[in-house]
Amino acid sequence: MDIRRRPPKRPRPTAVNGGTHSHQHRRNEKASTSSSSSSSSSSSGGGPKASDALPLPLYLTNAVFFTLFFSVAYYLLHRWRDKIRTSTPLHVVNLSELAAIVTLIASFIYLLGFFGIDFVQSFISRASHYDDDIEEEDDVLFDSRCCPPPAKSKFADADPDPALCSEEDEDIIQAVVNGAVLPYSLESKLGDCKRAAAIRREWLQRTTGRSLQGLPLEGFDYDSILGQCCESPVGYVQIPVGIAGPLLLDGFEYMVPMATTEGCLVASMNRGCKAIRLSGGADSQVYRDGMTRAPVVKFGSAVRACELFYYLENRVNFDTLAVVFNRSSRFARLQSIFPSLSGMTLHIRFNCSTGDAMGMNMFSKGVQNVLDYLQNDFPDMEVIGISGNFCSDKKAAAVNWILGRGKSVVCESVIKEEVVKEVLKTSVSKLVQLHLNKNFVGSAVAGSVGGYNAHASNIVSAIFIATGQDPAQNVESSHCLTNIVSINDGRDIHASVTMPCIEVGTVGGGTQLASQSACLNMLGVKGASQGSPGSNSRRLATIIAGSVLAGELSLLSATAAGDVVKSHMKYNRSSKDISNAAS
């Protein structure tokens, strides 16, 4: 049922934020009025319109009047020319000329009415819209200063949502629009996640006057994200997943899924994989595995803060705290505590293994256990925050670069001279020269932290998104030192990537969603590893490092050979007319 074709219902009066809701409703009415005057599909909510009385559809009526107007104008101009030639007075008209003049005037009035009124209306409605926003500055749900209204509501042209079809749905939408039901409470109120998303989406489109057409609703399991991945869903974004490989790593071949919208990236990594494969493969090691969390606590004096510092440095106390910490989960195992003093405050960096989970949740529970325990011996300790940025989560920081966070991985491969020439299309000397001047000198000039690489972040982000990792942790997970040196008397190269902070999991978070889980499955690292907890997530970290090595080899070679612009023009720019796509 097209819910927008029903006669509009008056909003229920409501005590909650009454001004805001009635204001919203007025805006909705305006949106539907302005769109109805200009659109043939303007059945969006308003009352009966003049166009409803037309015997033909609006576009046909317009076509008829346009044709009439121009054909009689042409006819009359012809007649006028003939009269001038034959010196006939212009005001002497025969019956057909009279009919033509009447038709011309009638069609002119129609066209003026149709387009002129719409033109004037657009000015009036825009002016009154802004007036309302200035009057009611407290309206936080829809503030035109941060989200300007569209000149013409695209929502008026959108297809009705097939997911919503009952009277009851319409009543709920109205209740959300009126503020009687809060949009984020729909899941708990309805007990149906898909319906909640559909109703929230409809509410959003009505209140903003903007269409979500193109953002799909169907084809997603909204139950799977409830309480875990995303609040207030209204649909999902589609990102293409490309496949690169096989990546020959530690004797196994992996086909690597990459979710990206950057043309050239998958193709480039594919080439790097080929170079590694033809050279006998790559080898990797996880040389450190520990997630970190660092609360910040405060005392009345620096001396007192020092006492906690000494306490935490004592190995005997560490063993006790580890027992307290490890109670949080079967998988969380405290490895070290690194306190950092600054005046009266102490930042305490806990480091623990988290099995196959990236593990921030289980970690936070463990840290809370320890803080509660410490409060017994240090009752004057004030916990300022469970995370005090010495962790350091989702930010570029030297502490991660030096001490590591998540999985610290190194991956290497010897690439033979002929492969450098035939697959990577460059020479050993050019590649090494470019690498030194770009990854080391250039990054030093730029004052980089962790950025001694060509484009590690490209590969890390694409695999993170495909496999359900937290994309925000791409910041430190992409820290990478790429090194390329010539060996065997300058004939071959030894290429390596050292990545101290790959923060990944194969359980928890977004990894359990259907698409992401399928990508993990493709890599053979889906879920919790049966034998030794943590081996799946460590394997995923090595695959990411191997993929980064492939990506580095390919991009650096293309840069050394001067091919970057050429290949980006080929893969990154479609032949589609972008100006048309944007309109």
User: Which SS3 state, helix, strand or coil, does residue 522 take?
Assistant: helix
Q: Is 347 a catalytic residue?
A: no
DSSP label at residue 357: B
The CA distance from 452 to 444, in Å, is: 8
DSSP label at residue 282: B
Q: Is 262 a catalytic residue?
A: yes
Task: Give the CA distances from residue 457 to residues 48, 119, 420, 453, 502, in Å, rounded to whole numbers and listed in that order.
Answer: 56, 49, 23, 9, 11
The CA distance from 349 to 337, in Å, is: 6
Closest CB to ligand ADP among 355 and 450?
A: 355
* 533-562 residues near ligand ADP, rule: CB under 6 A: 533
β-pairing verdict for 451-452 and 480-487: parallel
Token couple for 47? 């009352």
Contacts of residues 311-314 at CB distance under 8 Å and 24 or more positions apart, as own/partner, are: 311/377, 311/378, 312/337, 312/339, 312/348, 313/339
What is the nearest approach in angstroms of ligand ADP to the Cβ of residue 330? 6
Q: Which residue do the tokens 């927008």 mark?
A: 4
What is the nearest approach in angstroms of ligand ADP to the Cβ of residue 219? 25
Instruction: Give the CA radius of gyration of the chain.
Output: 33
Q: Does the protein bind ligand ADP through residue 361 (CB under 6 A)?
A: yes
What is the nearest approach in angstroms of ligand ADP to the Cβ of residue 463? 16
Catalytic residue selected from 394, 425, 430, 494: 394
Number of chain positions touching ligand ADP (CB under 6 A): 18
Q: Quick one: which of 576, 579, 1, 572 has its CA closest to 260?
A: 572
Q: Does the protein bind ligand ADP through residue 450 (CB under 6 A)?
A: no
Question: Is residue 413 within a helix (H) or strand (E), and if so which, with residue range?
Answer: strand 406-415
The CA distance from 505 to 469, in Å, is: 7
Q: Does the protein bind ligand ADP through residue 368 (CB under 6 A)?
A: no
The CA distance from 347 to 153, in Å, is: 52
Q: Does the protein bind ligand ADP through residue 355 (CB under 6 A)?
A: yes
Q: Is 78 a catalytic residue?
A: no
Residue nearest to ligand ADP according to CB distances in the complex:
355
Token couple for 78? 């012809």
* 11 phi, psi to nearest 5 deg: -65, 140
Residues whose CB is less than 8 angstroms from the CB of residue 58 and which lie 6 or more positions away in sequence, other chains included: 40, 51
Residues whose CB is less than 8 angstroms from the CB of residue 302 and which lie 6 or more positions away in sequence, other chains included: 341, 343, 344
Query: Do residues 294 and 341 touch, judged by C-beta distance below 8 A?
Result: no
Q: Does the protein bind ligand ADP through residue 329 (CB under 6 A)?
A: yes
Catalytic residue selected from 97, 118, 192, 262: 262
Closest CB to ligand ADP among 149 and 505?
A: 505
Closest CB to ligand ADP among 141 and 528?
A: 528
Q: Is 577 a catalytic residue?
A: no
Q: Which stretch binds ligand ADP (CB under 6 A): 164-172, 305-313, 316-324, 356-364?
A: 356-364
Q: Does the protein bind ligand ADP through residue 331 (CB under 6 A)?
A: yes
Q: Does the protein bind ligand ADP through residue 233 (CB under 6 A)?
A: no
Q: Which stretch binds ligand ADP (CB under 6 A): 27-35, 206-214, 357-365, 384-392?
A: 357-365
Q: Which residue do the tokens 């050394």 mark?
A: 560
What is the nearest approach in angstroms of ligand ADP to the Cβ of residue 333? 11
Q: Which stretch binds ligand ADP (CB under 6 A): 192-200, 233-241, 298-306, 505-513?
A: 505-513
What is the nearest approach in angstroms of ligand ADP to the Cβ of residue 460? 17
What is the nearest approach in angstroms of ligand ADP to the Cβ of residue 511? 8
Q: ∠16-18-22 over CA atoms, to 5°?
A: 135
What is the nearest approach in angstroms of ligand ADP to the Cβ of residue 468? 10
* 346 phi, psi to nearest 5 deg: -130, 125
Token couple for 163? 């997911």
Q: Does the protein bind ligand ADP through residue 360 (CB under 6 A)?
A: yes
Q: Does the protein bind ligand ADP through residue 224 (CB under 6 A)?
A: no
Query: Do residues 348 and 337 touch, judged by C-beta distance below 8 A?
Result: yes
Q: Does the protein bind ligand ADP through residue 358 (CB under 6 A)?
A: yes
Q: Does the protein bind ligand ADP through residue 290 (CB under 6 A)?
A: no
DSSP label at residue 149: P
Q: Does the protein bind ligand ADP through residue 567 (CB under 6 A)?
A: no
Q: Does the protein bind ligand ADP through residue 362 (CB under 6 A)?
A: yes
Q: Does the protein bind ligand ADP through residue 509 (CB under 6 A)?
A: yes
Catalytic residue selected from 9, 83, 298, 568: 568
What is the nearest approach in angstroms of ligand ADP to the Cβ of residue 250? 21
Sign of CA dihedral 399, 403, 407, 411: positive
Q: Which stretch binds ligand ADP (CB under 6 A): 55-63, 129-137, 180-188, 323-331?
A: 323-331
Binding site for ligand ADP (CB under 6 A): 329-331, 354-362, 505, 507-509, 528, 533
**Catalytic positions, written as ranges:** 262, 394, 470, 568
